[in-house]
Structure 1
Amino acid sequence: MKVIFAGTPDFAAAALKAMALAGFEIPLVLTQPDRPKGRGMQLQASPVKQAALALGLRVVQPEKLRNNAEALQMLKDAQADVMVVAAYGLILPQDVLDAPKHGCLNIHASLLPRWRGAAPIQRAIEAGDAETGVCIMQMDIGLDTGNVVSEHRYAIKPTDTANEVHDALMNLGAQAVVADLQLLAREGRLKSTVQPEDGVTYAQKLSKEEAKINWNEPAETLARKIRAFNPVPAAWTEYQGKPMKIWRAEVVNQSGMAGEVLACGSDGLTVACGENALNITELQPAGSKRMTAAAFAAGHALEKGMSLL
């Protein structure tokens, strides 16, 4: 069975590698154009491009697919049975969706219709969801509105960061899409279920502004945000007029004025919130590397009673 693949980040590269290892013929890989990255702003290939080249696969990098006759012809010429899409980053118009014999399957990191959109992993953690997962979805022209082919659940642990859930769902998605492709190869079709109209939520794109800590919020809310925004865009507060990132924190049953430093020492940096307090255990002052709160306390004059508001 011939399978076109379209994706860009690590989440997608894992699926591409799994498909190749399972023996599927992959005549074409689509990924985003090389982008400048790092301090030197050198052009860097996406993880999917790097994986595809290592596997000896043909890679194309169109800037867009809409009204792109050349790209559409390449897709048709591949004569693929199906296209698998994972975090590609480009909108697929109807003529592209229709190009493969069995259309396009998407690996989506949520339990649809919960968390359609750009940041499903982060929004699930931020909202306090007990579980999330991966859906293999038959793509249509809507935003994550297609029929669900298979669903694979993951219980979110109380300490999970977005990075940890990402890695778990990345592996889960790679296994799931291979299993569904093998089923399609055996049976010539995939059963699917229409998404229910109830329970639709949208995972809006993350912003640096919303990642700023508002100490008037409950500690439980802030603890979820810190986990949800780790590693990007990273929750932060101001310290000495500069942003200080907060990487890990836990809720403690203490109280004080919102933003008030309750303790700063070997056990962490404890700050009062609108309800209860946060004990910060890992942080990153501006211009420094990530460090434990204990290491920070040893080198900074942050005393009990000071305010981070």
Structure 2
Amino acid sequence: MGTPDFAVDILQKLIQEPFVNLKLVVTQPDKPVGRKRILTAPAVKEFAQKVGIEVVQPEKLKNNEEFFKLLKEINPDTIVVVAYGKILPKEMLEIPKHGCINVHASLLPEYRGAAPIQRALMDGKEYTGITIMKMDEGLDTGDILLQKEVKIENDDDVLTLSKKLAEVGGKLLVETLKNIDNITPVKQDHSRATYAPPLKKEEGKIDWNMCVSDIYNRFRALKIWPGIFTTFRGKLLKIHEMEIVQFNITSDIPNGTVVVIDDSGIIVKVRNGFIRLKLLQLEGGKKIDARDFVNGYKIKRGDILD
């Protein structure tokens, strides 16, 4: 059971294992995407159909007797869940012989919830990891089967970190399934629990009064969605590439002010440092590099980003 690209990477690892007899893929229903609201299949569905695995997309899980009947007919040893997006009801948890096993992208009990990768990046964490957990009725509260730590590099973003975690998660899941009868579950220390709630679009808006590391961490965490943005001359300005730079200016300049324009980008002052903007997209326009943006929109030193 899974929905996004992260789950696809885990699924690819599973189908490569000769001992795994994969009977069914369960994913979320197709959803309208983009301005034109085009009905789009989840990444897991697209991959499963390419490799010839049966796919079902229940609208709901709770009290879905038709779906439960299908699972009971399959009689699975294990149900593997990776970023599916819904809490499983008790009746479903009790169907498999070895229960339902979740691959969660954090070192539980830290970052329970929907956005553990993004929240770890936003918080500037140096380490995160993968937890293989036996699911219960709570939100990522089940007993831990295996865990592995993963270092977050300074240049990691949500894309690169997701790939690293998926690689580790796939290997750890295979190890778990091979040794399921010999692994002793360990209860989580619920007093140490932290949470990773779903992302909100407004979290992408830059506050130039934030410190330089917080702005950069937000950029690398929200790169896929919702992206980060500010406003320029009354229009929304998306920032697709940025970096922290060292620069010496001693005068009292408001945060959000453009202080330097050169071939490598637009340098903006923030609370305790400077950010170089490299790839931008003004509302209604295309992505362009900073040099073309400057030439096209006549941005100059002293302009302020809201």
Counterparts in 2 of 1:8-19, with a 5 A limit? 8-19=3-14
Q: Who is 1:76 aligned against?
A: 72
Greater CA drift, 190-199 or 233-242: 190-199
Greater CA drift, 154-163 or 295-304: 295-304
**Unaligned ranges ≥5, structure 1:** 1-5
Q: CA deviation at 1:122?
A: 0.7
* TM-score between both structures, scaled by the size of structure 1: 0.92
* TM-score between both structures, scaled by the size of structure 2: 0.93
Q: CA deviation at 1:295?
A: 3.0
Measured in 1, the distance between the counterparts of 2:254 and 2:33 equals 41
Q: CA deviation at 1:179?
A: 1.9
Q: Who is 1:144 aligned against?
A: 140
Aligned residue pairs total 301
Aligned residue type for 2:4: P
Counterpart contact for 2:87–2:139, Cα < 8 Å: no
Q: Give a deviation string over 1:139-160, Cα, whole Å, max 9, x none.
A: 1111111111111222111121
Counterpart contact for 2:240–2:279, Cα < 8 Å: yes
Measured in 2, the distance between the counterparts of 1:137 and 1:22 equals 20
Measured in 2, the distance between the counterparts of 1:53 and 1:63 equals 19
Q: Who is 1:28 aligned against?
A: 24
Measured in 1, the distance between the counterparts of 2:45 and 2:305 equals 43
Q: CA deviation at 1:134?
A: 1.2
Q: Who is 2:273 aligned against?
A: 276
Q: Who is 1:41 aligned against?
A: 37
The answer to whether residue 238 in structure 2 is matched with residue 242 in structure 1 is no
Counterpart selection for 1:178 from 168, 174, 177: 174
The answer to whether residue 185 in structure 2 is matched with residue 192 in structure 1 is yes
Q: CA deviation at 1:14?
A: 1.7
The answer to whether residue 212 in structure 2 is matched with residue 216 in structure 1 is no
Aligned residue type for 1:168: K
Aligned residue type for 1:81: D
Alignment RMSD: 1.6
Q: Who is 1:296 aligned against?
A: 293
Measured in 1, the distance between the counterparts of 2:5 and 2:183 equals 26
Counterparts in 2 of 1:13-162, with a 5 A limit? 13-23=8-18, 24-38=20-34, 40-162=36-158
Q: Give a deviation string over 1:179-202, Cα, whole Å, max 9, x none.
A: 211222xxx343222112343211
- Shift of the 49–111 alpha-carbon distance from structure 1 to 2, 3 Å rule, reads same
Q: Who is 1:259 aligned against?
A: 256
Counterpart contact for 2:87–2:138, Cα < 8 Å: no
Q: CA deviation at 1:290?
A: 2.7
What SS does structure 1 have at the residue aligned with 2:202? coil
Greater CA drift, 267-276 or 117-126: 267-276
Greater CA drift, 38-47 or 81-90: 38-47
Aligned residue type for 1:88: Y
Q: Give a deviation string over 1:89-138, Cα, whole Å, max 9, x none.
A: 22201110111011000011111111111111111011010011111111
What SS does structure 2 have at the residue aligned with 1:308? coil
What SS does structure 2 have at the residue aligned with 1:237? strand
Q: Give a deviation string over 1:2-33, Cα, whole Å, max 9, x none.
A: xxxx1111111222222111021112221111
Q: Who is 1:3 aligned against?
A: none
What SS does structure 2 have at the residue aligned with 1:7? coil
Measured in 1, the distance between the counterparts of 2:95 and 2:58 equals 16
Q: CA deviation at 1:84?
A: 0.1
Counterpart contact for 1:265–1:297, Cα < 8 Å: no
The answer to whether residue 224 in structure 2 is matched with residue 226 in structure 1 is no
